[in-house]
Structure 1
Amino acid sequence: MALSIIQIFRDYVTNGIPSSGNHKPAKSEIRSWGAWVESIISSFLSNGGLVYTSRAALFADLAHAANSSAWVIGDATAAYNGVYMKAGASGTGSWSRVADLPYSFVQLVDAGAGTANAIQLTSTIPTSQSVLRVANVFEPNAGNVTISENGGTARPLLTNSGNQISAGGLLANMMIVYIDDGVSFRLLSDQVSAAIVAAAEGFANAAASSASDAADSAAAAAASAAGVDLPPIASDRMLVDNAAGTVRESKTFSEVNDLLEKSTWAFDNNTLYKSRSNKDRWLDSYRLAEELNFTGGGATATDATVLQGLFLRARATGGEIILPRGDIKLEAPVILYNFANKKVRIRGQGDGATRFLNSSAGQQWFQIGQAGGGRTSDILLEGFSCAPSVSMSDAGSVFYMRNTTDVTFRDIVVSAVRNGWSMGVGAGATNDVIYTSIEGCGGASSGTSGVAMIRLGSGGILQVGGNSHRWNANGGHTFMEHGDTTYNWDGLYVYGQFFEHFGKYVYSHGKGIVNAEWTGGQMDRATIFFQLQPDSGISGDNTNWNIHDTQLLGFGNVGQGDYGLLTAHGTGNVNNVRFTDNIVKGLTNRAVFTTSGDGVKVHGNQFVNCGNSGTSVLQLDQPPANGVVSVTGNDIYLGNNAAGSNYTYGIDWVGSTNARRKSFGNNVVAGSSGAENGTA
């Protein structure tokens, strides 16, 4: 059998006799001991790795063949832990301990359960005479030291040379390495060396502290010499040098934060457990949720005031306001006016994530721009929804706009509202609201409303595009209306929108909409899809309209698809209206109905199952002397229905025959009265 680890790594040539000289371990003895440990482990593994937590449990299990091996680990009696071998056939015989557990060293912990001189150590692995021990020291000793391992018998801890540990020889937080010589525990490094090292470290720390104190004293002396008058000590304050570097002032934390906000330096605003500022300098962004009085739509009704105050800060230099998730209840209008040529973006977390609520029926939620003063510009609102907590009246509006330019709405949904956007309504001058974009937005209205989803007054260049959301209603709501009798709207562009069951999609009955294009998308159900008809006595002009490549779908019932395009004029004009390349289906009345049209072109459309209440599909006035009306290249038919039923004429001209009208290339499946009436 190999020598024990204690013999191999003994201190002296003759164990315990220093005069015999220092012992140098022989490599052959180390290799022999290592091979012995490996053989034990190999034998243990080859027999299936039997492990028992007590010797009694092992002795009770004889159902193993002769020479089987097992470990006992965790027995309350330390000497019982070890490697055992079976003698005798399975079911008979006995177990005998043949070796210590093959651990090279064991780490023990001094948690302070004992005293300074009677140390109690614990370990998760049983100790034996053949292992090295490594342990911490919880507190310094005051005299002779004993050690108890895992509740076992206390033994003296001696120095390397076999002497008692002197007072202060062990220091708190030291790590010691020792062995079991069978009678006592022996340190492998002498206490004297450890104490010397600890003392040296103490001297070094004292020297560093002394140097720091000296530096502080020198700085204090220099400050005193320079005549600096330090303010008195006060709680929760910081010392800050003034801008001139002449006075050291006492500031509150809030005051220091304001100073930092004005500097080029900023707090980290994204890392947990670090201070956060009101502004992320590298993004120029402000966070509404971090404002002191923000309630998140709660009880104190301060959200509109807080948001408006944050907007005033953002517009000073330009930047982004980040809205939190949840509901934000506005106790008053948020007034957004920006004529500083600084771009401001107000961004929520998306439809359904950030939602604004009103507090009263006639409330304006956001008032963008002011009638007097400079023109508000460069505002982007994005990524939130609006829904009333109090049912709106016709006087209320979500976005009330006056005297603005370059305002964009993106990914915004208005639900159960009457008036979503009011643009230049009631303005006292032309072009009050210009260059507005509504991108990827949507809205819903389930009830009857006396005002439109989008109201147009004085202004122009409105774009409505993108199809992230749809627009829907329940038949009692107009989508877009212009009713201003003093100023017209110049420039309307609607692209690729999807609508469902509005009463009217465009109703222009005031001074008029000029230069408009409506293309793409689909419109389901309406009483009148497009009504360009100024009120009686209004000299309105609806001119330069281009409605093309879209679908107007009725459902064959009155109120769910009556008229497609209806044009008329009072003392003004309906001129240059193009209705081309559309699909119009299932209208109970006329798909196109014009009176006194000065310039109307109906070309390349498909009219399917229209006029099915017994009217003509198209009814057009003869053009006046200086006008022209043309109906060319259209298909008019009844789908799967028999020819000659439902509609009367495919094309019905009203008035005296006029050579300035044109009708050719139309494919009409004859109605009950014929394909065309009043031809030249």
Structure 2
Amino acid sequence: MPLTARQVYRDYITDGIPSSGNHKPAKADVRTLLTGYEAVITAFTSNGGLVYTSRAVLFADLAHAANSSAWVIGDATAAYNGVYMKAGASGSGSWTRVADLPYSFVQLVDAGAGTANAIQLTSTIPTSQSVLRVANVFEANAGNVTVSENGGTAKSLLTSSGGQIAAAGLTAGMMIVYVDDGAAFRLLSDQASAAIQAAAEAAAAAAAGSASAASASAAAAAASAAGVSLPAVAANRMLVDNAAGTLRESKTFSQVMTLLAGAVSGIASAFSLDNNTLYKARSLKDRWLDSYRLAEELNFTGGGATATDAAVLQALFNRARAAGRSEIILPRGDINLEATCLLKNPGASPNPIRIVGQGAGCTRLLNTSAAQAMIWIGDDADADYTRGLTLEGFSLAVTVAQNDSGSGFFLRHTSDISFKDIFIDGLRNGWSFGVGGPAVNNSVYSHLSNCGGNSPGTSGVAMIRLGSGGILTIDGGAHRWNANGGHIFMEHDNTSWNWDGLYVYDQFFEHFQKYLASTGKGVVNAEWTGGQVDRADIFFQIEASVPASGSNRDWNIHDVKLLGFSGQGGAIGVLASGTVESVRIAHNTFHGLHDACVYASTGGVFIEGNEMVQCADLGASAPLGGALIRLGQGRSRVLGNFGYRPSGAPGSSYRYGIQWDGATYSERSAANNVWYNFGASAETGTM
């Protein structure tokens, strides 16, 4: 009996019995099988190649010689398709099926005509038991699967080892390869691994549950045998030996995490728990990481209400400080603050805390009342300064127009506070440093980097107020400092305490009423350098209001552009009076001002290397008109300055480069100054 492809390429040594081992086809059997195919093909082609669409049509055609061959392809009965041979002379005899059609594999299509578990496949080529099948899967199965081919009888589709297909073992769009073993179809390709894994995990979980139960029983028996009394079983708890090693106690997951983190007094952590060893393990919002997220707090509204968000932020900050965490992350969007948030972190070296948003244009904190202090930092009642806070990447804005009592950030008794990428939008007062503080140096070592502000048109308080304290630095790229002419940028007006240390670097401003006004007891050690100040009534006002003890001392204003425009007010560059000591005004550009570039009624100034160009006096409307530089009785040096008045300038009183007021004073001097195009003389008065 000739060998069939099913016999030659069977899966197992004993067909259908996996335990007999995998079968390896013998080369001799393969050659015999293929030789038979070749003989049939040769006979078919030598005969001219007869093809019929059904067996009935073939049987009706006997006009062929003996041993002629023909193919039947397309018969509705799948078993009738195949290779036939003629017996008997032409016009008589019969046709006999001698072989399957010589196709090695057939591609079938699942177009979704069946169901997920009863697949119907179609092909353009008839199938037989000897061909390899390749087909797509239209949809995932939910249980045991059957397959019918070209409308034939359905057979079970089994795995290669003869098992049923697992649920979701066939997925939509996957390709399968299978054969016909006579009784069923067998997969040669694998089913989806996820289904296998799920089944394996379920079995493993069941086994683990049994093992855990057995282990618990054994532990209970051992404990009982040892005379140990175990706590009662409760949900979501763990047994922990106490510190003395005498009892086993039932602890919640949160309590166990606290023990591991070493937060319990007197217990040192046995583990190093950080971002590199843990993946955001949380329990009841406590973490082993350094960050808290405001958006994850249970009562946080996300800006949708004003009843809780300030309280939630306040509580989160207090918890971060108590737990030693170093970061609070604010979400995107608007956050309404229904009350003041008080940030206190006192101590000689407290844990630093960073409050960070998603960017000044993405995270906004909003006020809800006109006189509200939005964020209050520090407390005069604490023995030590509040230190080590960084506020970054958000803006303060108004939903209720702020009055002169309101503030954005109000600092009292603070040290080492940093603001980065903070924007003040529409507030009258954005920052208050030590304002109303009860002692000297109330707020010290503050830093604004990459910050900015946009102020309303008129305000009775400055955007930045200086009270008692010192060492404020403003630097970085200016986000935007902008006003509409009725607002002072920075002012010190405290008559009880001076401000010691002010440093402003490379900032750009537009249309503030004044940029720096020292009208209190005085600012000592100030440096304003680089950048540009644009349009003002008085750019720098140095006038201490406490004649007996106040003083503005050791200022250095250099390499700044001071720009004025027509019709924008008095535009006095530097106005100084009272006790002024060692104020240096050097290498600046005064352009387009309408009054004195520098007026120091009591002297104490050193004016060196400045350019004063296109400055056109407004005549009678200029309160200090008449000269680019006007100096009173006091130490003054004017060296190497350049001044130019445009031809045809309005205001005939604008006639001098320098005006010396009062009698000759031995400590005034001038040299190497150049003044062009003045109506009278370069200087007036006597030094």
Q: Could you say which TM-score interval applies, normalised by the shorter chain?
A: 0.7 to 0.9
Among candidates 313, 328, 332, match of residue 307 of structure 1: 313
Contact 2:106 2:133 in 1 (8 A): no
Q: Is 1:362 aligned to 2:371, yes or no?
A: yes
Deviations 1:284-321 (A, max 9, x none): 22222222222222326222222222222322325111
Kindly tell me: are residues 522 and 188 of structure 1, through their superposed partners in 2, closer, same or farther at Cα, counting changes over 3 Å? closer
- The residue number in structure 2 matching 1:669 is 676
Q: Confirm or deny that 1:580 pairs with 2:586.
A: yes
Amino acid at match of 1:238: R
- Is the counterpart of residue 319 in structure 1 residue 326 in structure 2? yes
Instruction: For 2:618 and 2:157, locate their aligned partners in 1 and report how far apart those are by CA, in whole Å.
Output: 112
* Aligned ranges 1:183-222 → 2 under 5 Å: 215-222=215-222
- Return the match for 2:663 from 656, 660, 665: 656
Q: Return 509-518 or 269-278, whichever deviates more.
A: 269-278
How far is the alpha carbon of 1:555 from its aligned partner?
0.4
Q: Which residue of 1 aligns with 2:6?
A: 6
**Aligned equivalent of 2:299, options 271, 289, 293:** 293
The SS at the match of 2:465 is: strand
Q: Read off the aligned partner of 1:500 and give its amino acid letter.
A: E
1:150 Cα offset (Å): 6.5
The verdict on how the C-alpha distance between 1:152 and 1:586 changes in structure 2, with shifts beyond 3 A counting, is: same
The whole-number CA distance in structure 1 between the counterparts of 2:12 and 2:552 is 114
The residue aligned with 1:50 is none
Identity %: 51
Partner of 1:152: 152
Classify 1:359/1:398 alpha carbon distance in 2 versus 1 (closer, same or farther; 3 Å): same
Which residue of structure 2 lines up, in the alignment, with residue 199 of structure 1? none
List per-residue Cα deviations over 1:390-434 (Å, max 9, x = no partner): 111110111111111111111100010011111111111111111
Match of 2:95 in 1: none
Map residues 120-519 of structure 1 onto 2, 5 A cutoff.
Answer: 127-131=127-131, 151-153=151-153, 172=164, 180=180, 215-232=215-232, 237-244=236-243, 247=247, 249=249, 262=263, 264=271, 278=285, 281-282=288-289, 284-299=290-305, 301-316=307-322, 317-340=324-347, 341=349, 342-373=351-382, 374-519=384-529
What is the alpha-carbon distance in structure 2 between the residues aligned to residue 276 and residue 505 of structure 1? 51
Kindly state the Cα deviation for residue 658 of structure 1 after the two structures are TM-superposed. 2.1
Q: How big is each residue's C-alpha offset from its partner over 1:528-587, in whole Å with a ceiling of 9 and x where there is no partner?
A: 00011123766420111110000000002242x610000011xxx111111110000111
Q: What's the TM-score, normalizing by structure 2?
A: 0.73
Residue 138 and residue 475 in structure 1: after superposition, are their counterparts in 2 closer, same or farther (change >3 A)?
A: closer
1:69-99 C-alpha deviation (Å, 9 max, x unpaired):
xx999x987569999xxxxxxxxxxxxx993
What is the alpha-carbon distance in structure 2 between the residues aligned to residue 307 and residue 397 of structure 1? 18
Call closer, same or farther: CA 1:78–1:432 in 2, change over 3 Å.
Answer: farther
Distance 2:10 2:332 in 1: 71
Q: Distance in 1 between matches of 2:437 and 2:505?
A: 27
Aligned pair in 2 of structure 1 residues 79, 333: CA closer, same or farther (>3 Å)? farther
- C-alpha distance in 2, partners of 1:343/1:439? 18
Which letter does structure 2 place at the counterpart of 1:630? Answer: R
CA–CA distance in 2 between the matches of 1:565 and 1:327? Answer: 41
* Preserved contact between residue 591 and residue 611 of structure 1 (Cα < 8 Å): no
Task: Compute the displacement of 1:661 (Å).
Answer: 1.2
1:610 aligns with 2:620: no
For 1:672 and 1:538, the matched residues in 2 are separated by 41
Matched, 1:600 2:605: yes
Q: CA RMSD in A?
A: 4.8
Residue 553 of structure 2 aligns to which amino acid in structure 1?
T
| 1:99 aligns with one of 101, 108, 111 | 101
Query: Is the Cα contact below 8 Å between 1:649 and 1:674 reproduced in 2?
Result: yes
CA distance in 1, matches of 2:502, 2:204: 81
Corresponding residue SS for 2:527: strand
- Distance change >3 Å, CA 127–CA 222, structure 1 → 2: farther
Change (3 A) 1:32 1:465: farther
CA contact (8 A) 1:622 1:658 kept: no
Instruction: Give the deviation of 1:650 after TM superposition.
Output: 1.7
Partners of 2:377 and 2:410 within 8 A in 1: yes
User: Gapped runs of 5+ residues in structure 1?
Assistant: 17-21, 41-53, 56-70, 84-96, 159-168, 190-202
Q: Which moved more, 1:239-248 or 1:408-417?
A: 239-248
CA distance in 1, matches of 2:23, 2:304: 81
Alignment partners' CA distance in 2, 1:462 and 1:297:
32
Residue by residue over 1:141-165, the C-alpha shift from the partner in whole angstroms, topping out at 9 and shown as x without a partner, is 9xxxx9865652267999xxxxxxx
After TM superposition, give the deviation of residue 328 of structure 1 in Å. Answer: 1.6
Would you say the 8 A contact 1:377–1:404 is kept in 2?
Answer: yes
Give 1:363's aligned amino acid: Q
Q: 1:72 to 1:370 in 2, by over 3 A?
A: farther
CA contact (8 A) 2:129 2:180 kept: yes
Instruction: Return the alpha-carbon distance in structure 2 between the equivalents of residues 549 and 204 of structure 1.
Output: 75
Equivalent-residue separation in structure 1 for 2:517 and 2:157 (angstroms): 101
Amino acid at match of 1:153: T
Partner-residue secondary structure (3-state), 2:581: strand
Aligned partners of 1:225 and 1:391: how far apart in 2?
75
User: Quick one: distance in 2 between partners of 1:457 and 1:278?
Assistant: 40
> How many angstroms does 1:130 deviate by?
1.5
d(CA) in 1 for partners of 2:129 and 2:185? 12
What letter is aligned with 1:372? A
Paired residues of 2:663 and 2:686 also in contact (CA < 8 A): no
Q: CA deviation at 1:134?
A: 11
Whichever residue aligns with residue 562 of structure 1, its letter is: A
Q: Is the 8 A contact 1:354 1:385 kept in 2?
A: yes
- Residue 363 of structure 1 and its aligned partner are, at CA, apart by 0.7
Give the letter for the 2:520 counterpart.
G
Partners of 2:617 and 2:651 within 8 A in 1: no
> Quick one: which amino acid aligns to residue 370 of structure 1?
D
Inter-partner Cα distance in structure 2 for 1:12 and 1:506: 95
Displacement of 1:260 in angstroms is 6.0
> Which AA in structure 2 matches 1:358?
N
Pairwise CA distance, 1:123: 5.4
Report whether the alignment pairs 1:555 with 2:560: no
**DSSP 3-state at the match of 1:217:** helix
In structure 2, the gaps of 5 or more residues are: 17-21, 41-52, 55-71, 84-98, 170-175, 189-202, 264-268, 620-624
Task: Find the counterpart in structure 2 of residue 545 from structure 1.
Answer: 555
Q: Secondary structure at the match of 1:296?
A: coil
Deviation at 1:220, TM superposition (A): 2.6
Cα distance 1:229–1:268, how it changes in 2: closer, same or farther (>3 A)? farther
| Distance in 2, Cα, partners of 1:133 & 1:553 | 85
The superposition leaves residues 175-229 of structure 1 with CA deviations (integer Å, 9 ceiling, x where unpaired) of 9999658x7669999xxxxxxxxxxxxx999999987765443223113223444
- 1:180 and 1:511, CA in 2 relative to 1: closer, same or farther beyond 3 A? closer
Cα deviations by residue, 1:651-676 (Å, 9 ceiling, x for unpaired): 11111122321122111014223221
SS across alignment from 1:99: coil
SS at match of 1:490: strand
- After TM superposition, give the deviation of residue 252 of structure 1 in Å: 5.5
Q: Which residue of 2 is the match for residue 59 of structure 1?
A: none
1:43 aligns to what?
A: none
Corresponding letter in the other structure for 1:301: A
Contact kept in structure 1, 2:469 and 2:498, CA below 8 Å: yes
- Check 1:347–1:279 CA distance in 2 against 1; reply closer, same or farther (3 A cut): farther
TM-fit CA distance, 1:6: 3.1
Separation (CA, whole Å) in 1 of partners of 2:662 and 2:445: 41
When residues 589 and 506 of structure 1 are mapped into structure 2, their CA distance, relative to the original with a 3 A threshold, is same
Q: 1:279 to 1:647 in 2, by over 3 A?
A: farther
CA distance in 2, matches of 1:311, 1:287: 11
Amino acid in the other structure paired with 1:348: G
Cα distance in structure 1, aligned partners of 2:408 and 2:593: 33
Paired with 1:157 and 1:397, the residues of 2 have a C-alpha distance of 76
